[in-house]
Structure 1
Amino acid sequence: MPMSILSRRRFSALVLMATTVMTLPLQAQDVVLRVGDQVGAERARLEAAGLLKDVPYTIEWSVYPAAVNLHEALKAGAIDVGSSADSPAVAAIAGGSKVKIAAAFNNGGRGTSIIVPEDSDVTSLEDLRGKTISPTTRGSVSHYLVLGALKQAGIDPSEVTLAFLAPTDASAAFQAGGIDAWGTWGIYTARTTGILRARILTDGAGINSGYSVYSATKEALADPARRAAIADYVDRMDRAYAWSQANRDAFLDFYSGFTKQDRNVVEPMFEEQTAYERRPVDDALAADLQKVHDTWVEAGVLTGDLDMSQFIDRGPLREATQ
């Protein structure tokens, strides 16, 4: 018997639905993207920008206090993707982590600072000679900053004491006077300058590359559904940064609440927190990552040769959702 008009419409709708599911892997209900998030900053920013309301897959969040912890989780396969500065990502890859750099943003080198107590006699980088400095964890972006700052000031690392501490331990040591200076970033800088009125000695511009890179496991990138989810997630972060730049007051209100600091404390951090721009994953990025690796080798943090161009994902990540 011929189909009724209503039956034909239902049949056409089913065909369209099936085609959509096949061509858009993000629509599958069982797609789960495991995202590593340092101090919960990315989730909070996405929520503030209203970009977590229509996610067509499930995000499983894991929060870490620092990049080293996030990269340990990536190496163990506990998460699929996570962002960090380029220096800890390179250190993790050199340490055997089976990840590739899938996306990159850059803020011009801002965002990581060396801070000193309000009443410290350290007023310039040259005054760090003979001091005890915590670069937070070994291989972190603040470790990279400290080494670069010492080099800029003509100070050999042997002329200072480097105390590698987890962020919470470094914060406690800073408050107790156990260290003279602290290389740190983001929320830790905001809270320490806000609560203790610490002074920023240098903000990283001109030393750090400014890259924030998304490292993803090879397994996740090889899975079409998770790859599409990673592409969508990174695009959402791109839109979140655009929202931050275009909505100064709303961003400062959000960041003040997130860091639990007065608005006047976080206002000077607006540029470093919102200047991120998407950069292509290409030969130029590989060359910048190679420079970071070679700097680590020169500093004795890493050994051996590594071709960083082998650890970037050149596939059409952004196009995976189109």
Structure 2
Amino acid sequence: MLPSSLRTVLRWTAPLLLAAASFHAAAQAGTTLRIGFQKSASLLTYQKSNGSLEKRLAPLGVAVKWVEFPAGPQLLEGLNVGAIDVGFVGEAPPIFAQAAGARFVYIGFDPAAPEAEAIVVPKDSAVKSVADLKGRKVALNKGSNVHYLLVKALEKQGLKLTDIQPVYLPPADARAAFERGAVDAWVIWDPFLAAVEKQSGARLLQDGRGLVNNYAYYLAERGFAEKSPQVIQALFDDTQTQAIALKANLKAAAAVIAPLQGLEPDVVEKSLSRYQFGVKPLTAQVAAEQQKIADTFHGLGLIPKAIRVADALPTGAKVANAAR
């Protein structure tokens, strides 16, 4: 049975409670839920593979369309231009997107997974600590969750982004640059992290533990969130059910996911072990942590203006004041 906390998702949009009370009245026959995902989002990849969400939404007359993106920033662009209705990304992309004027709302989050992102170097690298990165080339996907990890890791050593040479590349290009020695380090998330550790012997320099939370967020186009609470609830119900099944048997889930991600099952299993799954409504604490990231990026000049995370929360969300 779905945890009671997840049933509160509908309460975030208080003006829609009367409509939500009537399941059939709000069913949107003939519509399509367009989900933006990345292959690295293992749970969504698992859901896509088994068709569980399609079966759950069929009684509402809602079809499902899966739209793949290489990383979070590109997914947010898709959400902003109306190519998708719902997406799943890390901490940083929503902040960059909100600063650029994107129209979306946070509708849920997954638990912290600080071990699922890290700074890695080649196994024979002379770099032994984050401090040794000074003046060196570091690859990362600009505006992704690892952007914040790099900032915090450097900060802990008394360094700034200007003390290194950031090389902004999407995961596939970054992996190629890393393996041919064009960059000295790579900041990346799972399952790409697990893959490069196993396949290239990459050495972990620093993961997120003690530095970042590495939450992941479910986002929706604001109009869709306001008009389709039942569809969002069905998505979350299915996500929770599939998360329980996945965690109950990581090996079996990895065997399903691996060929879809183009990875070996043991790599995927390692990646899955470092993630926590189970979508929940935003809490005041999580919203406040997201605001800290936004303030940090603004202070560093990474986003052009200060933003209020509260402005991207659903109408009536009780955590709004906690996020300024």
Q: TM-score, normalised to structure 1's length?
A: 0.82
Aligned counterpart in structure 2 of residue 154 of structure 1, from 151, 158, 161: 158
Which letter maps to 1:63?
A: E
Counterpart position of 2:23: 23
Which letter maps to 1:304?
A: K
Distance 1:163 1:210 in 2: 21
Secondary structure of 2:168's aligned partner: coil
Aligned counterpart in structure 2 of residue 132 of structure 1, from 127, 132, 137: 137
Counterpart position of 1:17: none
Query: Aligned in 2, Cα 1:23/1:268: closer, same or farther, shift over 3 Å?
Result: closer
Whether 1:77 aligns to 2:77 is no
The CA deviation string for residues 182-225 of structure 1, in whole angstroms up to 9 with x for no partner, is: 111123223322332222222222222221111111121122xx
Query: Aligned in 2, Cα 1:184/1:83: closer, same or farther, shift over 3 Å?
Result: same
Distance 1:314 1:277 in 2: 23
Distance 2:182 2:247 in 1: 38
Distance 2:304 2:88 in 1: 24
Distance 1:270 1:39 in 2: 13
Counterpart position of 1:297: 298
Tell me which moved more, 212-221 or 189-198: 189-198
Offset, 1:263: 3.9
Tell me which moved more, 84-93 or 118-127: 118-127
Secondary structure of 2:279's aligned partner: strand
Counterpart position of 2:256: 254
Query: Aligned in 2, Cα 1:190/1:25: closer, same or farther, shift over 3 Å?
Result: farther
Offset, 1:292: 1.2
Query: Aligned in 2, Cα 1:280/1:55: closer, same or farther, shift over 3 Å?
Result: closer
Counterpart position of 1:15: none
The CA deviation string for residues 43-99 of structure 1, in whole angstroms up to 9 with x for no partner, is: 421156663462322111110000011000011111111010121111111110010
Counterpart position of 1:109: 114
Counterpart position of 1:218: 222
Distance 1:208 1:25 in 2: 43
Offset, 1:159: 1.8
Distance 1:250 1:26 in 2: 37
Aligned counterpart in structure 2 of residue 202 of structure 1, from 192, 202, 206: 206
Runs of at least 5 residues in structure 1 that lack an aligned partner in the other structure: 1-21, 317-322
Question: Where does structure 1 differ by over 4 angstroms across 4 or more consecutive aligned residues?
Answer: 25-28, 47-50
Distance 2:245 2:316 in 1: 27
Query: Aligned in 2, Cα 1:88/1:69: closer, same or farther, shift over 3 Å?
Result: same
Secondary structure of 1:207's aligned partner: coil
Distance 1:64 1:211 in 2: 19
Whether 1:278 aligns to 2:279 is yes
Secondary structure of 2:154's aligned partner: helix
Q: RMSD value over aligned CA atoms?
A: 2.4
Query: Aligned in 2, Cα 1:23/1:312: closer, same or farther, shift over 3 Å?
Result: same
Query: Aligned in 2, Cα 1:200/1:94: closer, same or farther, shift over 3 Å?
Result: same
Residues 281, 313 of structure 1: 8 Å contact kept: no
Residues 282, 314 of structure 1: 8 Å contact kept: no
Whether 1:180 aligns to 2:188 is no
Distance 1:123 1:257 in 2: 34
Secondary structure of 1:278's aligned partner: coil
Residues 136, 166 of structure 1: 8 Å contact kept: yes
Counterpart position of 1:3: none
Offset, 1:255: 4.1
Query: Aligned in 2, Cα 1:252/1:166: closer, same or farther, shift over 3 Å?
Result: closer
Runs of at least 5 residues in structure 2 that lack an aligned partner in the other structure: 1-21, 318-324
Distance 1:167 1:108 in 2: 19
Secondary structure of 1:83's aligned partner: strand
Which letter maps to 2:117?
A: T
Secondary structure of 1:154's aligned partner: coil
Distance 1:233 1:315 in 2: 21
Secondary structure of 1:310's aligned partner: helix
Offset, 1:106: 1.4
Q: TM-score, normalised to structure 2's length?
A: 0.82
Distance 2:255 2:84 in 1: 30
Residues 49, 240 of structure 1: 8 Å contact kept: no
